[in-house]
Amino acid sequence: MNNNLQVTSMEDIKNSFMKVIELPGWDEKPFICKVKRVGILGLAQEGKIPNTLMSLATDMFNKKVDPESTDLNDMIAIFDVMAQETLVEPNYEDLKNASIKLTDQQLMELFSFSQQGVNGLKNFHHKSKDTDNNPNKSDVGGKTE
């Protein structure tokens, strides 16, 4: 047994449990929000995922979702539940009361974050390369004919 181990403090747990992240906004400004990770299994256990969506939730947990055979309304319902549970500040109800709907990309990123943490957002955030200093710039065609 390693005697150098120390119990994780509540402050460390709180700091790792909730994160402030950047999502794409509704315009050019990003949407900065506080979120927490939640799990599909925990939400199912708490009864927050309706029984009609349990099969899809299980498939999503196991990463076995076939987009072609999945009902879009069911997918939206799962993303919606995950957004409700993941958003801390502003919370989902505040947005809904202000008649603000999350975009598809925001919903997908919140779902990804809820399942994989900050690593789940890496799939969505790609910085564009600097095109002004691109050595292949001369290969790009000029005016169209």
Range with lowest mean pLDDT among 7-16, 66-75, 123-132: 123-132
> What span, in angstroms and rounded, lies between the C-alpha atoms of 100 and 73?
19
Helices (H), 37-125: 40-45, 54-61, 72-86, 92-97, 104-116
Confidence check: pLDDT of 16 > 50: yes
Least confident of 15-24, 25-34, 107-116, 130-139: 130-139
Domain positions in the chain = 18-120
Distance CA 107, CA 92 (A): 11
**pLDDT one-digit tens code per residue, 28-55:** 899 999 999 887 778 878 888 877 777 7
Q: How far apart are CA 63 and CA 29, in angstroms?
A: 32
> What pTM was computed for the model?
0.66
Tokens representing 25? 């906004």
Structure tokens at 21: 């992240």
